[in-house]
Amino acid sequence: MNELDAVTPSQQKRMLSTSTVAFTVCFAVWTIFSIIGVKIKQDLGLNDTQFGILVATPILTGSLSRIFLGIWTDQYGGRRVYTAVMALTSVAVWMLSTVTTYEMFLVAALGVGLAGGSFAVGIAYVSRWYEKERQGTALGIFGMGNVGAAVTNFGAPFLLVALGWEATAQVYAVVLLITAVLFFVTTKEDPVTAERKAKGEKPASAFMQLTPLKKLQVWRFSLYYFFVFGAFVALALWLPRYYVGVYGLDIKTAGMLAAAYALPGSIFRAMGGYMSDRYGARAVMYWTFFASVVICFFLSYPATDYTIQGIEGPITFNLTIGLPVFVALTVALGFFMSLGKAAVYKHIPVYYPGHVGSVGGLVGMIGGLGGFVLPISFGIMNDLIGVWTSCFMLLFALVAIALLWMHFAIQRMERKATAEQLVGLPEFPEMVDIHEPHHAASEGSARKRRTPPPAGSSTQAAH
């Protein structure tokens, strides 16, 4: 009996909606430093390096924690792990309002980063409530919790002005703790964990959960997510500065245009999951990578002045991507990234149904590290190359590598599958003359002609 046979549609909807709300709150907490970080920098008198480390710490730890949180989810079930993560994170967020030294702020930031690790827990928990044909849609809806970043960007400033940054952190801590309690009360143990407990089986060891990580395919999925999620986060952080530096916009306008890029990355993730279920995750990844290669190519082309020798003298013209076109291209890029994020996680429960937590944790970790590494790389490339579009040059190279790796890997798998299907098939009759001496084949043919057909058979049946 399948463990999903006893699951009702109402249970599936309740677990998915509750998990998505919880992830939205966690993602809002994970990005809290984007608002209160500036005030903390002023209060502590931090330099830019210290401030950068403080703000990046939650992103880094949220990424690194996904691997072991995913393993624990496979072992002990998402309901308990998810609740524990939210409860512990709420303590760390409250701690922000009580500490006074830079070192202790870093310790608190480590705890805040656990909120980002909740993604691996939720992916493993939600996938176990749905059959394979609907997992893509379910995981896409869950991934819409990324909108928590927009909740913080739009809501936290009002709290900051009205209450101060310390009280803002306390409000976030209380909301997260309440969410943890409500999640535990309104959810149930996932079917896989419940069946294992009913049978008295022990969970697989952490070492066994890590076994799939030896496969190159898992790391290929990680590269996909490094682009569709890591580059998405990196651009969300980098675009305001880009708009100010390249187009001379004020910070408010730059922030709104950056939000126009980021919003599709959350809203359309559910659409990506649905499309992965209907058309296949592989097809959606092809669409994502092809579109991203084209978009990044145009975005990476720097503003250039050309002079050509015309009949009546030099002709000079300029090739520049105007602001409206640039905004449209970035919004399109964010849209395709959102489809790709859902498609990557559609692969995991299909290929590794018993290791969704560990594999999903590693993929999420690598993707999160992209959000940490790429903004630093963008700055370094600006300093070394001195061209604003160098960030898109890097993204073009990254997505081109991912596309080529995916394409050749798929071709290799298809050739292998075709070869396996041919094994054991009967030899083609026309190949007999090649493998046997000509005279033997002729004698055999003569003997066959002299042998009368079995009684009751026809010439057509013999052939």
Residue range 380-395, pLDDT digits in tens: 888 888 888 888 999 9
Q: What is the pLDDT of residues 274-331, one digit of tens each?
A: 888 888 888 999 999 999 999 999 999 887 777 788 777 787 766 778 889 999 999 9
pLDDT-above-90 percentage for the chain: 24
Mean pLDDT of 329-339: 91
pLDDT score, position 18: 94
Q: Between residues 426 and 221, which one has the greater pLDDT?
A: 221
Half-sphere exposure of 114 (CA within 13 A, CB side): 21
pLDDT score, position 456: 43
pLDDT score, position 459: 39
The one-character DSSP state at 229 is: I
Asked if pLDDT for residue 241 goes beyond 80, the answer is no
Tokens found for residue 389: 């579009």
Asked if pLDDT for residue 435 goes beyond 60, the answer is no
Mean pLDDT of 327-340: 91
Range with the largest mean pLDDT of 36-50, 67-81, 92-106, 193-207: 92-106
pLDDT score, position 5: 64
DSSP H or E run through 178 = helix 165-186
363 within 8 A of 225, measured Cβ to Cβ: yes
Mean pLDDT of 79-97: 94
- DSSP of 365-409, one letter per residue? HHHHHHHHHHHHHHHHHHHHH--TTHHHHHHHHHHHHHHHHHHHH
Query: Which domains are seen in the chain, by residue range?
Result: 8-209 (1.20.1250.20), 212-422 (1.20.1250.20)
Poorest-pLDDT segment among 59-63, 183-187, 288-292: 59-63
pLDDT score, position 251: 63
User: What is the C-alpha to C-alpha distance for residues 124 and 139, in angstroms, rounded to an integer?
Assistant: 9
The one-character DSSP state at 188 is: -
Poorest-pLDDT segment among 29-43, 63-77, 102-116, 350-364: 350-364
* CA neighbor of 296 nearest in space, from 140, 409, 401, 407: 401
Residue 65's Cα: distance from chain center in Å?
A: 15
pLDDT tier for residue 454 given thresholds of 50, 70 and 90 = very low
Q: Between residues 18 and 123, which one has the greater pLDDT?
A: 18
pLDDT tier for residue 23 given thresholds of 50, 70 and 90 = very high
Mean pLDDT of 211-228: 81
Q: What is the pLDDT of residues 340-365, one digit of tens each?
A: 988 887 888 777 777 776 787 778 78
Mean pLDDT of 384-411: 91
Range with the largest mean pLDDT of 71-80, 264-273, 423-432, 446-455: 71-80
pLDDT score, position 186: 93
Mean pLDDT of 394-421: 87
Asked if pLDDT for residue 180 goes beyond 70, the answer is yes
Q: Is the pTM of this model over 0.85?
A: no
DSSP H or E run through 149 = helix 148-163
- Cβ count near 452 (within 10 Å): 6
Report the mean per-residue pLDDT for the chain. Answer: 80
What b/e string do you get for 114-141 counting C-beta neighbours within 10 Å, with b at 16 or more? bbbbbbbbbbbbbbbbbeeeebbbbbbb
What 388-393 contacts at long range (C-beta under 8 Å, 24+ apart), as own/partner pairs, is 388/242, 388/245, 388/246, 388/302, 389/299, 389/300, 389/301, 389/302, 390/300, 391/235, 391/238, 391/242, 392/296, 392/299, 392/300, 393/300
pLDDT score, position 374: 85
pLDDT score, position 446: 46
Q: Between residues 38 and 348, which one has the greater pLDDT?
A: 348
